[in-house]
Structure 1
Amino acid sequence: MSTRNLYAEYAIDASGAFPSGITAPAQATLNETSHAVAPGGSNPDQPILDPLPGVEHSYGDSYSPTSADPRHELAETFVATINVAFPLFPKQSFANQLENEVISDTLASVIYGLSAKIVNMPFLLGDEDVDSTLSNLRYSTHIEVEQVIVPAALNQWRAACLLAWYGFHQHPGPSECVHIAGLVRKAYQCGLHQIDSAENRASFGWDQVSEERLHDWRHVWWCLYMLDCYASYSTATPHQAEAETLRTALLQTSVPCGPSGAKPEKFFLPADPSKLWKLVDDISRTKGDNAFSLCMAISAVLREAVTLHRQQKQNPGGFIPERISVLEDHLSAIELAMPPNYMRQTRDVLRGESNTSFHYRLLTLLKIYCTRLVLRLASSHLLESPEWEERWHESLEICYRMFAVIQQWDKQYMLATDPAICFIILPVLTLLHLHSLSSGLSNPQLKEQLARRKNILRLFVQNSAEFWTLPRLLLSRYDIFVTQFTKPLSADLIRQVLNKLQSPLHPDLLGGSPARAQLQPPVHTGSDRGVLVSSAAVNPARAASGSETGHAAGPNLPTTWPAVTTSDLALTNEAQGSMDTGQVLNDLILSPQTWDDLMNTQDMCDILLQTVDSPAHPSYLAQ
């Protein structure tokens, strides 16, 4: 897949040449060592990814000495794709930093490796596997410095952030979320959340860092903030980054001082959600491209909405509905404070809106609607039947607004779109599916429209799933969910399903829980539907450990089950890693063929809700 059409907006042009006045990187210093990056021709003795100890082959071994330096193209790919989705480097200075700045071996390896992965160019791989190399780097790379003023600190933090971003999307699971939480705590120890604090900046050494380098560090912090959002949303756990303690300014388009020598105004996320509208209004009045800052401001209100939803689910109390109502008012104020035409769903060509800014704006719109959806569903279970049905119908309208935004996405920008967007789209998919099964839906045209739109959303996620395990895993789970719910559902059953939904990276998905062992049915493997294979056969280790307790004690379970194999989940070996695929199948499989039998049982709802964890939990709605 070509990314050449993206380069015009970045420091490296589409012809493959660096802008006038900037040469291709001739040398990058790497922790007191260097590797040559010769313009126009490669060094056949220099690996693209420096091999780890014990690795004999390198990425450079397969290149012809007469070919253009592949590092040049990999750098272009990185700045036009991954660095847009995860802006760790200021795009204006990326090319200069490749040429002049200190870049460690590890950081260079990660940059080139991530680019090689997404372009999927076999001749770049040689005898090595990109994912294996990146995974090894992920587990062997650590932040060893304790102070930001140490020269190696910025390289180590950048490498750690990129590898955490990679790990979350390629190896989704609790361990990656724990790793992200550890990084955020480490960032607090080093003061990355206090870069612009007048009181504390000297305590962490920020007063000894140049403004240009402070700008680099702000990119590191806000990327960590994004990672913290991922981990929190996907696991329904508290955030590590506290809004009340943040004194690092939001990213700005540029760092030069004004004509009078004064520094540009800095913007900060407020601790009080009631002040977010004022932040949005202030950002809207500034010149330049502040799409990322607006996106972070909306992420803050989405974080608050997801937190309220989690608290309502985990510890219901009378104060939550009032806080939800207040936050809905704050969200309305934020929408009204947005720049003119910001809520439009088409690119503002007349005002010179770039494609990158347009897609950032689309992402921000999705988060606004997601916040509204979370808030409308958060306390719906407390409502009486008529009010609940009204709220349920309102959710369809919000889903349609979100679909209208997703419809505008340019497929050519998929590589520059963070795969975490699937945490937003999967709930919409699932809610649309439940709406299509609603027993109160009698309009055949609406049913056909729902089917079409589900297909479009599924194709969107499928595009991301071509490159990353996380959307592939979520899409597989959605497909299994669809096979379970095929008949019309009453409003009462839909309500119960919504009340029991789990977060997308819940342990039940990634390995099962002992509490559900008694509900484990036997599963088929292979193509022979006439032979039942017990879950112990799929996972003998679990059976040997004693956690395979069978299902005799469960309610009236069916005796036949559909054949589903590991390949049906389309998971890569890396994705399975510590995952127990047999247990995943056991947790999720509920045969459509047994639906009619279950319809007559009193335990139908309990079986469904304990056997199927839908991906529609509102805490999917992620950064």
Structure 2
Amino acid sequence: MSTPEDSLVSSTLRPRDASKEPSVTAQSTNTFEFEISSQQEEYLEIKNSSLDKYFDLFHDANPIYSRANFLQNYRNALCSKDLISTMVIITAKLIGFAPEGSDLDIRIDHLLSSNHLELDIIGDSPTLDQMRKAYIMAFYEFHQFPGDQSWMRIGRLTRIAYRVGIDKLERLPTFYPDWAAISKAEMQEWRLLWWCIYKIDSYTNLAAGTPYLIDKDFINTALMMSESNIASSNGEPTESEAVYLPTSFQGLWEVIPSLTSDPETFLANVHIVTVTAMRDVALVGRIYFLREHTGTVEEVFKEAERQLSALRLALPFGWLNTDRNALAGESQSNHHARLVTIFHLSFAQLFLGILKCRAEEGDEWTRSWQKILENCQDIARAAAQWDSSFCVRVDPAINLVLLTALIFLEVHKKTSISSTAVNSESSIKHDQTIIRLLLDQFAKIWTFPRLIILSFKSFRESFSGVSGSLSQRQVNAILLSYKGPLHPRWVQFLASVRTIVNDAGYL
């Protein structure tokens, strides 16, 4: 009989030595050679400047590196040529920098098509740099060319991560000499990459209405540690040092006190926790869809509501205040990172309210419908604090949150509950304006928010044909038909809103 250790060994792949991959130094060229007539020194200046810009702008949304470690490896010729080239090209595209004679779109198309082949032939032991490049391309394609192909690319990347074994990173040194020989700093780099893959798996499947590939109940990779804690721990994290994501929704709030002991990584780890809160609420939705008429659904809703409340209260004092805490020295960067977690929590509550409205009637339904409006207003309040210069610095997946708020604010304008309130419609219109303006800022950089804006316009156009105030039954018909923007029935939903509402009115 095989033991758990045998199973672990057989399902995990060894890391290949990155130093054996093609490398690049600060004095050599790479595959990103703009067709420019300048001297080599000028080209190197462009390249180095682009790498600095990558960390200044793009890295916060995708913290797959330690900046200091990466730049040191770059200077020591330990970075893959392909990775450097990819970082420079993507950064140039995002900041709108295109030297004379270059065609970034053609180069990016080549990167995307060639990376599909690379994922097929990446082998049994991809290097860290190969995985990083694959992640950057998956992230970029999802937000710039959203659709089935980008969704499939992320799925393939996630499965490769499982094959490498970074979902159980803390156990690998116990079973493999080559993993045991890896430095603590490099283990942290793999850890950073894993949690970025975890988040993008969450976003994409939430948008598509499909099950997550990653099951968080079977993750044995610790949350992030700061470089100072890594250096002081003198070896791999011990069980007392390492902090793990709880294996159930019930314990999600309990991890917060442990994270406060490491201020350098607190924001990044809370980001993972709030993404998990969204994931867990979506799982509640799947339970409702599959077991709508069973007695367990109501209890699941109550438990999810309790756990979300506990998580919000477990966060530091003033965390949910959308204003920047200037008196406490909160930087703009940290403020916007905190705003992202507020978006996540507001969306989790909004989505839970949608699920509860589907299952309730009478006064309970009215309370849940009111809660949906409250959560949409919270999202608009956070959006109002946004500095547009941070649109390239955060994960644009928060546009999923903005779309949901826009649509249900629109529905609220046509309900008798909202229409009887003083100044309610003008307040809702203002909130929609704020959210739309933020989407417009993201749309200057990414395609995904542009498609979201078009989706909302399509919804509003179809919905404008509905006359009078909506009944509870008609609102529920919309709630039951609502899908994520990457769901195969999304376009059908947008086109048929008027029919859905009218049909419900005749029942």
**Quick check: TM above 0.5?**
yes
In terms of fraction of residues, the more helix-rich structure is 2
How big is each residue's C-alpha offset from its partner over 1:137-194, in whole Å with a ceiling of 9 and x where there is no partner? 432332645555xxx6111111111111111112211232222222222222211011
**In 1, Cα distance between equivalents of 2:20 and 2:414:** 59
Decide which of 343, 353, 373 is 1:366's aligned counterpart.
Answer: 343
**In 1, Cα distance between equivalents of 2:505 and 2:86:** 45
Change in 2 beyond 3 A, CA 1:66/1:417? same
C-alpha contact (below 8 Å) 1:31/1:103 kept by paired residues: no
**In 1, Cα distance between equivalents of 2:21 and 2:263:** 40
**In 1, Cα distance between equivalents of 2:288 and 2:414:** 27
**In 1, Cα distance between equivalents of 2:50 and 2:505:** 50
C-alpha contact (below 8 Å) 1:48/1:60 kept by paired residues: no
How far did 1:480 drift? 0.9
How big is each residue's C-alpha offset from its partner over 1:16-64, in whole Å with a ceiling of 9 and x where there is no partner? xxxxxxxxxxxxx9855444544xxxx8xx4662xxxxxxxx5243656
Q: 1:395 is matched with which residue?
A: 372
Q: Aligned partner of 2:435: which letter?
A: L
Q: 1:423 is matched with which residue?
A: 400
How far did 1:224 drift? 0.9
C-alpha contact (below 8 Å) 2:64/2:132 kept by paired residues: yes
Decide which of 96, 99, 116 is 1:120's aligned counterpart.
Answer: 96
C-alpha contact (below 8 Å) 2:259/2:266 kept by paired residues: yes
How big is each residue's C-alpha offset from its partner over 1:501-535, in whole Å with a ceiling of 9 and x where there is no partner? 122101234xxxxxxxxxxxxxxxxxxxxxxxxxx
Q: 2:180 is matched with which residue?
A: 207
Asked which structure has the greater CA Rg, the reply is 1
Decide which of 318, 327, 333 is 1:350's aligned counterpart.
Answer: 327
Change in 2 beyond 3 A, CA 1:241/1:588? closer
How far did 1:104 drift? 1.7
How far did 1:273 drift? 2.0
Alignment of 1:108-507 (within 5 A): 108-123=84-99, 126-129=102-105, 130-142=107-119, 144=121, 153-197=127-171, 201-203=174-176, 205-257=178-230, 261=234, 265-316=241-292, 317-440=294-417, 441-443=419-421, 445-486=423-464, 487-491=467-471, 492-507=473-488
Change in 2 beyond 3 A, CA 1:34/1:193? closer
Q: 1:535 is matched with which residue?
A: none
**In 1, Cα distance between equivalents of 2:21 and 2:349:** 51
How far did 1:288 drift? 3.1
Change in 2 beyond 3 A, CA 1:587/1:249? closer
Q: Tell me the percent identity.
A: 24
Query: Which 10-residue stretch deviates more, 161-170 or 377-386?
Result: 377-386
Change in 2 beyond 3 A, CA 1:106/1:288? closer
How big is each residue's C-alpha offset from its partner over 1:440-483, in whole Å with a ceiling of 9 and x where there is no partner? 41346221221122111011112111222211111111111111
**In 2, Cα distance between equivalents of 1:588 and 1:257:** 50
With normalisation by structure 1, the TM-score equals: 0.71
**In 2, Cα distance between equivalents of 1:201 and 1:495:** 53
Query: Which 10-residue stretch deviates more, 62-71 or 464-473?
Result: 62-71
Query: Which 10-residue stretch deviates more, 173-182 or 323-332?
Result: 173-182
Q: Aligned partner of 2:358: which letter?
A: H
Is 1:107 the counterpart of 2:83? The answer is: yes
How far did 1:429 drift? 0.8
How far did 1:377 drift? 1.9
C-alpha contact (below 8 Å) 1:147/1:153 kept by paired residues: no
Q: Structure 1: which 5+ residue stretches go unaligned?
A: 1-28, 50-57, 510-583, 609-623
- Look up the SS of the partner of 1:87 in the other structure: coil
Change in 2 beyond 3 A, CA 1:121/1:258? closer
Alignment of 1:519-558 (within 5 A): none
How far did 1:496 drift? 1.1
Change in 2 beyond 3 A, CA 1:353/1:252? farther
Change in 2 beyond 3 A, CA 1:287/1:118? closer
How far did 1:296 drift? 0.6
How big is each residue's C-alpha offset from its partner over 1:483-506, in whole Å with a ceiling of 9 and x where there is no partner? 111244413322211111122101
C-alpha contact (below 8 Å) 2:270/2:341 kept by paired residues: yes
Change in 2 beyond 3 A, CA 1:367/1:251? same
How big is each residue's C-alpha offset from its partner over 1:114-145, in whole Å with a ceiling of 9 and x where there is no partner? 10111112336624524423323432332645
Change in 2 beyond 3 A, CA 1:318/1:165? same
* Aligned residues: CA RMSD: 2.9
**In 2, Cα distance between equivalents of 1:74 and 1:488:** 55
Change in 2 beyond 3 A, CA 1:183/1:385? same
Change in 2 beyond 3 A, CA 1:468/1:257? closer
**In 2, Cα distance between equivalents of 1:345 and 1:387:** 29
C-alpha contact (below 8 Å) 2:474/2:501 kept by paired residues: no
**In 2, Cα distance between equivalents of 1:190 and 1:202:** 13
How far did 1:270 drift? 1.3
- Look up the SS of the partner of 1:267 in the other structure: coil
C-alpha contact (below 8 Å) 1:145/1:153 kept by paired residues: no
Change in 2 beyond 3 A, CA 1:108/1:318? same
**In 2, Cα distance between equivalents of 1:143 and 1:249:** 29
**In 2, Cα distance between equivalents of 1:374 and 1:141:** 37
With normalisation by structure 2, the TM-score equals: 0.86
Q: Aligned partner of 1:79: which letter?
A: F
Change in 2 beyond 3 A, CA 1:59/1:306? same
Is 1:61 the counterpart of 2:36? The answer is: yes
C-alpha contact (below 8 Å) 1:88/1:223 kept by paired residues: yes
- Look up the SS of the partner of 1:490 in the other structure: coil
Is 1:98 the counterpart of 2:74? The answer is: yes
Change in 2 beyond 3 A, CA 1:419/1:258? closer
**In 2, Cα distance between equivalents of 1:508 and 1:287:** 43
- Look up the SS of the partner of 1:155 in the other structure: helix
- Look up the SS of the partner of 2:264 in the other structure: coil
Q: Aligned partner of 2:264: which letter?
A: G
Q: 1:71 is matched with which residue?
A: 47
Q: 1:605 is matched with which residue?
A: 503
- Look up the SS of the partner of 2:88 in the other structure: helix
**In 2, Cα distance between equivalents of 1:170 and 1:97:** 29
Q: Aligned partner of 2:72: which letter?
A: N
How big is each residue's C-alpha offset from its partner over 1:277-316, in whole Å with a ceiling of 9 and x where there is no partner? 2211211243434101011112222211111112212442
Change in 2 beyond 3 A, CA 1:418/1:382? same
Q: Structure 2: which 5+ residue stretches go unaligned?
A: 1-17
**In 2, Cα distance between equivalents of 1:201 and 1:155:** 23
Q: 2:12 is matched with which residue?
A: none
